[in-house]
Amino acid sequence: MKDDVSLEKVMGTIKNWTEENTNTPTSSLLVSLDDGSFHVGYYAGMGNSDSSPLSKFMPLYQATVEKLYQQGRLVETGRAFTLYPGSHRFKSLVLKN
């Protein structure tokens, strides 16, 4: 069975990744300050976090995030941070309507 992903589903996922919800650990959309790549950060359990490059997702995710970022609809927010020693420096992204 082929995995078809619609733009509507991708936008819904991006909205979930960019919501500011401090009550539950959820995935978040990040931009690397080191090389400009996009990542999805997530809670890995036992107080640890990690990330996966967006390039590992279906191509529509990467293309949509890049376009939204170039249009200024995805905006960097907060202070730069690392997920663990030696990781990229990241900033969170928020989707502006």
- Helix orientation angle between 59-70 and 7-18, rounded to the nearest 10 degrees: 60
Nearest to 20 by CA among 10, 28, 12: 28
Percentage with pLDDT > 70 across the chain: 91
Query: How does pLDDT run across 16-47, given as a tens digit for each residue?
Result: 999 876 566 678 999 999 999 999 999 888 87
Q: Global pTM?
A: 0.86
- Whole-angstrom CA distances from 50 to 6, 40, 68, 83, 87 are 27, 8, 23, 6, 9
The pLDDT value given to residue 18? 93
Q: Mean pLDDT, to the nearest integer, of 41-65?
A: 91
